[in-house]
């Protein structure tokens, strides 16, 4: 019985087209991912998009009174990192079904899928984010940092 190579080729092409369409759909979803995180006191809201890029930053009027500039910067940095982590987790969930079995979605999302895992581990950044404010500073009066002179003379 002769093999019907034409039918096999057509089926392979159809499978390829379905895979491309699924991948295109996932790419569109990945491009529109955002994650919003708010500070515990509600004074700072950070929204990041795909790859952790800052999309929006909302600071309430009271944020300027509650935090000194260095503290506010630390809050924004911490919230941005949290939101970027959440976006990455959602991206991994979207990628998992379209990747070959055994492929780590994080390696694809982070652009290191074809790199040696040991080299990647050795090049990983060794930094950490400091807390937004020291517990000692929280209750040092009800005034703003602008009024209490703790800004090091900067105005």
The CATH number of residue 76's host domain is 3.30.1310
101 within domain boundaries: yes
Average pLDDT of every residue of the chain: 79
Token pair belonging to 144:
């703003």
The residue to which tokens 């809201």 are assigned: 45
- Residue 100 has a pLDDT of 79
Domain enclosing residue 127, as ranges: 33-133
Structural domains counted in the chain: 1
52 within domain boundaries: yes
Range among 10-19, 36-45, 128-137 rated most confident: 36-45
49 within domain boundaries: yes
66 within domain boundaries: yes
Token pair belonging to 96:
């998992």
- Residue 123 has a pLDDT of 54
Q: How far is CA 107 from CA 68, 99, 117, 125, in A?
A: 38, 11, 9, 15
Residue 122, pLDDT > 80, answer no
Give the tens place of pLDDT for each residue, 64-121: 999 999 999 999 999 999 999 999 999 888 888 888 778 887 777 777 666 555 554 5
């Amino acid at each position: 019985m002769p093999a019907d190579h034409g039918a096999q080729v057509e089926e392979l092409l159809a499978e390829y087209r379905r895979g491309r369409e699924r991948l295109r759909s996932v790419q569109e979803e990945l491009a529109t991912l955002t994650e919003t995180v708010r500070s515990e006191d509600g004074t700072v809201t950070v929204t990041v998009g795909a790859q952790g890029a800052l999309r929006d930053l909302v600071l309430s009027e009271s944020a300027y009174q509650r935090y000194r500039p260095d503290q506010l910067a630390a809050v924004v940095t911490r919230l941005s990192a949290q939101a970027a982590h959440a976006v990455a987790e959602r991206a991994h969930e979207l990628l998992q079904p379209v990747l070959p079995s055994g492929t780590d979605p994080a390696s694809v999302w982070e652009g290191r899928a074809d790199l040696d895992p040991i080299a990647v581990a050795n090049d990983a950044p060794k930094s950490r984010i400091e807390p937004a404010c020291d517990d000692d500073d929280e209750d040092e009066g009800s005034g703003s940092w602008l009024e209490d002179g703790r800004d090091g003379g900067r105005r």
